[in-house]
Amino acid sequence: MFAWYTLTASLATAAGSLAGGLLIDGLTRHAHMTLVHGYRAGIVGYASLGGVLLAIFSRLSPRIEVAPAAEASKGHRLGLARSHGIVLKLSALFALDAFGGGFVIQSMAAYWFYVRFGLSASELGGIFCVANLLAGLSALAAAKLAARFGLIRTMVFTHLPSNILLILVPLMPNLPLALAVLFVRFSISQMDVPTRQSFVMAVVPRTSDRRRPA
């Protein structure tokens, strides 16, 4: 379930990358805008879609929330019973990972490709469309690998090489090699996402329901 959820998100990101690149190139070539005005229009469009999302989410009913069990959370820190220690450790680990990943977001990587190789917006959109398609497919592959090797092994032994490959991208001497490393990186980059979510779902309820010995 988590793998298909991740795949759906990656497909949407891939479509957005391609659409954004084509939009900016279309505005600069056919609407006779400067490159700066084309990118500005793209950012305004992105912000407008955010406003649409805000309007949609504001109309959601409180009934979509799961009603908490009062007995289960009563007297427990953060409502987690004995699992709060594990949850805090996992949260710290995931926060450190997110902090490191935040240094190289996709927009920064796209800007590097633009500065280093002079690619157009549509070319960048196509590159990151393919990259996100590979990322989505990697989530499906993660489910099969986790079933054979376990959640932790799949999470760790795919995420570490993924980060190493990302470090190697700017060291590549030409565009084909840089793209090859980038695509290999994305082909394993999302394997830790569904395995991480599944691990949390598997561990937290079990530790929360554990009874203290008499």
Q: Does the residue 43 lie in any domain?
A: no
Q: Does the residue 63 lie in any domain?
A: no
**Which residue range is the domain that position 139 belongs to?**
2-18+81-209
Q: Does the residue 108 lie in any domain?
A: yes
Residue of 64, 65, 66, 81 whose CA lies nearest to 203: 81
Q: Does the residue 151 lie in any domain?
A: yes
CA distance 43 to 50: 11
Residue 140 in tokens? 């499906």
Q: Does the residue 69 lie in any domain?
A: no
32: left (phi over 0), alpha (psi -120 to 50) or beta: left
Residue 48 in tokens? 């407008």
pLDDT tens for each residue of 146-155: 888 887 788 7
Instruction: State the average pLDDT for the chain.
Output: 82
- Express as a percent the part of the chain with pLDDT over 70: 86
**DSSP reduced 3-state for 17:** helix
Total domains in the fold of the chain:
1
pLDDT tens for each residue of 93-122: 778 878 887 888 888 899 999 999 999 888
Burial 160-193 (b: 16+ CB within 10 A, else e): eebeebbeebeeeeeeeebbebbbbbbbbbbbbb
DSSP code, position 59: T
DSSP code, position 190: T
Q: Does the residue 175 lie in any domain?
A: yes
Q: Does the residue 99 lie in any domain?
A: yes
Amino acid at 65: E
pLDDT tens for each residue of 15-67: 998 998 888 888 888 888 888 888 898 899 889 999 999 999 999 888 887 76
Q: Does the residue 60 lie in any domain?
A: no
